[in-house]
Structure 1
Amino acid sequence: MVLANRPRHHHASRGTPSGHPPLLRFLGLPIKIGGETVGMIGLANKAEDYTEEDALFLQPLLDTLGALFYALEVEKSRHYAEQKLRYLAETDVLTRLPNRRAFIERIAEFYAQESAPFSIAVVDIDYFKLVNDQYGHQVGDEVLQEVAFRLSSALRSDDLVARMGGEEFGVCLYDTQDAPTLEVLRKTIAAEPVLTSEGAVNVTVSIGACQVSSQRCADRWEDDLRYADLALYRAKKEGRNRVRWHMPSMATNFT
């Protein structure tokens, strides 16, 4: 507490800012949470001297403000904890990309667009098991991290890339006429070897994709993702390191 009925003579006085009304009397009361000061209330220029009774009279107000400050801190901590838990639940730890769960949830945002077409694609690292067998899982992890980085760097901020599991990534591209093409993504991965702790490793990917038209149905996302998987299977069967498309609007079955 600061009780100064002669503010200019108080040992802590540093004067007042330019243009500030003069302080004839001053009472400063601390707002505390668990003994720690988190704020102050300042009163000035009472007609009579401030007394300790004034401070005692205002103590319930200080307690209430302290409780409000505490509640605010608790709410901030709760919000931070929720955000952290959500991040952990939706993020692949190794690549820092969204995980499969987050990918599926965010697909809804693409289907919610009423006009612009978009594409769903599945990207799979070719011969990834051989990388693990030849170099070890540490190098395999480094390859996954670099592929994830190259994919996310090549896409726009409103596109989506996620790690679906293992060596497989999911991609959604808005307005595919203007987006980087999947062929560009494929070339981006193959352009330079991945520099790992065991040396350079050549990496390619196969990509299967399906175009989702503007006349789409939100509950068709599983079918569309399956079409992309089928196109990926065809890319693998035809020699890998290539992009293959499947058009749901032209298909009558999954064969």
Structure 2
Amino acid sequence: MESAVSVSEFSIQVNNSIQPLLKLAGQISGLETTFITYIDPVKQIQRVIWVDGDGDIQIQAGSEVNWSDSMCRLLFNSDAIVSENVPAEFPKSAGAELGMQTFIALPVRSTQKIVGSLCAASSKQHHLPENAKYQLKLLAEAVSLHIEQWQTITELAERYEKAQKSLRKVKRETQMLSQKANTDLLTGLLNRRGFSERWAELKEAESGLVTVLAIDLDNFKPLNDEHGHAVGDQVLATFGKALRASSRSCDICARMGGDEFFWIFMNGSVKIAEEAAERLRKQFTKLTNTAIQSCAFSIGIHVEDITKGDDLLMAADKAMYQAKSQGQSLTQLTA
């Protein structure tokens, strides 16, 4: 972020310092619109960097033209710096199409190489005196430093943007890998690793009551043995879908292994937890087919302050086993 700010500030400084030169070029030339361009010899593109004036000739900063179509190229190749009758001298040029009558272009050099141009244009005919040509040549020499600074700014900005794109790509890939590493592929819920991370974050960030539901599928092993692992996997996948549909995105829903699950959310009460359990039961029943309708589940509920930490998980797990041993679908322990 510091790099972006420094580049931005540098750009503003360069823009502010170039404006007086453009205004001076307008006064010397007597033309309404003055602008400075950058010439890219590799891409064969000419780009307008800075513009000053509100004349009839509409030149926009940031606009580009192929070097082969450039008015500057036409003047440079004719060894002139000014055309006082553009329609007559260059009838099919872009300048003529823009309505230019007078056009001035001086090459801007850096280490003897042309890097840009100092230009002025008008929809009216003007005569440029010799002393004005000399003064504009001096201005063109002063402009070279600004174009070099602009190139530096542009390169820094491009490098920064490229680095940011790479960083965003790495972050996306890291998030995807982390999500895969923390997700149970069969159910779409958190796996044990993902649960451990979310549970640790919850304990550190939150305060107040937390509701823990420990869930275990009933008769899962006999069903798995009788119908095969494919049906067992279907039961687990269906239960995962039901749990996702019954919970909120802020809840922690995880498959801890086998047919054991946790569903955790902040605040709540035993009544709210029982309503959530009933909602899960209905959703699971709705999604199950005939082959697996016999598979129910037991739930243990524990609601207590989150400062109790991992003891909450143990209490809910104990309640769940009591429910299973008593043949109940739901039991509860409260502090």
Contact 1:231–1:244, Cα closer than 8 Å, also in 2: yes
Tell me the TM-score normalized by structure 2.
0.53
From 166, 185, 194, the counterpart of 2:288: 194
Q: Structure 1 pair 28/110, CA: closer, same or farther in 2 (3 Å)?
A: same
Equivalent-residue separation in structure 2 for 1:221 and 1:25 (angstroms): 61
Report how far residue 107 of structure 1 moved: 2.8
Please state if 1:118 is matched with 2:231: no
From 225, 228, 244, the counterpart of 2:331: 244
Contact 1:208–1:244, Cα closer than 8 Å, also in 2: yes
Of 104-113 and 126-135, the range deviating more from structure 2: 104-113
Report how far residue 50 of structure 1 moved: 5.8
| Larger Rg computed on CA atoms | 2
Q: Structure 1 pair 187/96, CA: closer, same or farther in 2 (3 Å)?
A: closer
Equivalent-residue separation in structure 2 for 1:25 and 1:97 (angstroms): 53
- Stretches of structure 1 lacking an aligned partner (at least 5 in a row): 6-19, 31-45, 250-255
Q: Map 1:140-219; keep pairs closer than 5 Å.
A: 140-177=232-269, 179=272, 181=274, 182-185=276-279, 187-188=281-282, 191-192=285-286, 194-195=288-289, 199-213=291-305, 216-217=306-307
Contact 2:300–2:320, Cα closer than 8 Å, also in 1: yes
Please state if 1:222 is matched with 2:299: no
Of 46-55 and 137-146, the range deviating more from structure 2: 46-55
Q: Equivalent residue for 2:59?
A: 23
Which secondary structure state, in structure 1, belongs to the residue aligned with residue 105 of structure 2? coil
Contact 2:316–2:333, Cα closer than 8 Å, also in 1: yes
- Superposition RMSD in Å: 3.5
TM-superposition CA deviations, 1:7-34 (whole Å, max 9, x none):
xxxxxxxxxxxxx97028987499xxxx
Q: Map 1:83-102; keep pairs closer than 5 Å.
A: 83-102=175-194
Equivalent-residue separation in structure 1 for 2:157 and 2:248 (angstroms): 46
Report how far residue 186 of structure 1 moved: 5.4
Report how far residue 208 of structure 1 moved: 1.3
TM-superposition CA deviations, 1:67-87 (whole Å, max 9, x none):
223212211121112211221
Q: Equivalent residue for 1:233?
A: 321
Tell me the TM-score normalized by structure 1.
0.68
- Matched to 1:3, the amino acid is Q
Q: Map 1:61-140; keep pairs closer than 5 Å.
A: 61-108=153-200, 110-111=202-203, 112-115=205-208, 117-140=209-232
Equivalent-residue separation in structure 2 for 1:186 and 1:164 (angstroms): 18
Which secondary structure state, in structure 1, belongs to the residue aligned with residue 248 of structure 2? coil
Q: Equivalent residue for 1:54?
A: 115
- Matched to 2:259, the amino acid is E
TM-superposition CA deviations, 1:76-100 (whole Å, max 9, x none):
1211122112212221111111122
Report how far residue 123 of structure 1 moved: 0.6
Equivalent-residue separation in structure 2 for 1:92 and 1:26 (angstroms): 51
State the identity %: 27
Report how far residue 239 of structure 1 moved: 1.5
Q: Structure 1 pair 137/47, CA: closer, same or farther in 2 (3 Å)?
A: farther
Higher RCO structure, 1 or 2 (CA under 8 Å, sep 6+): 1
Report how far residue 230 of structure 1 moved: 1.2
Which secondary structure state, in structure 2, belongs to the residue aligned with residue 69 of structure 1? helix
Contact 2:299–2:320, Cα closer than 8 Å, also in 1: yes
Equivalent-residue separation in structure 1 for 2:284 and 2:60 (angstroms): 77
Q: Structure 1 pair 94/4, CA: closer, same or farther in 2 (3 Å)?
A: closer
Q: Equivalent residue for 1:39?
A: none
Larger helix fraction of residues = 2
Equivalent-residue separation in structure 2 for 1:77 and 1:230 (angstroms): 44
Which secondary structure state, in structure 2, belongs to the residue aligned with residue 53 of structure 1? strand
Contact 1:193–1:203, Cα closer than 8 Å, also in 2: no
Aligned positions, number: 211
Equivalent-residue separation in structure 2 for 1:173 and 1:26 (angstroms): 53
